[in-house]
């Protein structure tokens, strides 16, 4: 028996995540998995750390900026420094 929590927009997406995780971590086939109950939980009811760490309202992610492609004649195979892909 297992208790799992997944974050998704709807229950069908969460069930798909569960099937993928069970196949990846435990090598379980979908026909051997029995789902007993599914529910939508409030933030206060969540138990797992990987779910509750996303409840922080001040959570920020880096902004990735798209770099324009250089012309073919200006590109190099090797470059001395890495490109900056985020805004400070």
Q: Are 5 and 48 in contact (CB under 8 A)?
A: yes
* Rg, the chain, Cα only: 21
Supply the pLDDT for residue 20: 96
Supply the pLDDT for residue 68: 84
Record the tokens describing residue 77, joined without a space: 């195979």
The strand pairing partners of 64, in sequence order, are 86
Question: Average of pLDDT values for 1-19?
Answer: 94
Question: Average of pLDDT values for 49-78?
Answer: 86
Whether the per-residue pLDDT at 88 is higher than 80: the answer is no
**Which pairs with CB-CB distance under 8 Å and at least 24 residues apart come from 21-29?**
none
Record the tokens describing residue 5, joined without a space: 């929590």
Taking only the tens place, the pLDDT of each residue in 13-37 is: 999 999 999 999 999 999 999 999 9
């Amino acid at each position: 028996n297992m208790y799992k929590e997944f974050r998704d927009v709807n229950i069908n997406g969460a069930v798909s995540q569960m099937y993928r995780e069970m196949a990846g971590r435990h090598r379980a086939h979908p026909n051997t998995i029995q789902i007993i109950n599914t529910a939508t939980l409030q933030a206060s009811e969540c138990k797992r750390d990987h779910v509750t760490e996303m409840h922080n309202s001040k959570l920020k992610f880096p902004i990735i900026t798209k770099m324009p492609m250089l012309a073919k004649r200006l590109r190099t195979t090797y470059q001395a420094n890495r490109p900056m892909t985020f805004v400070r």
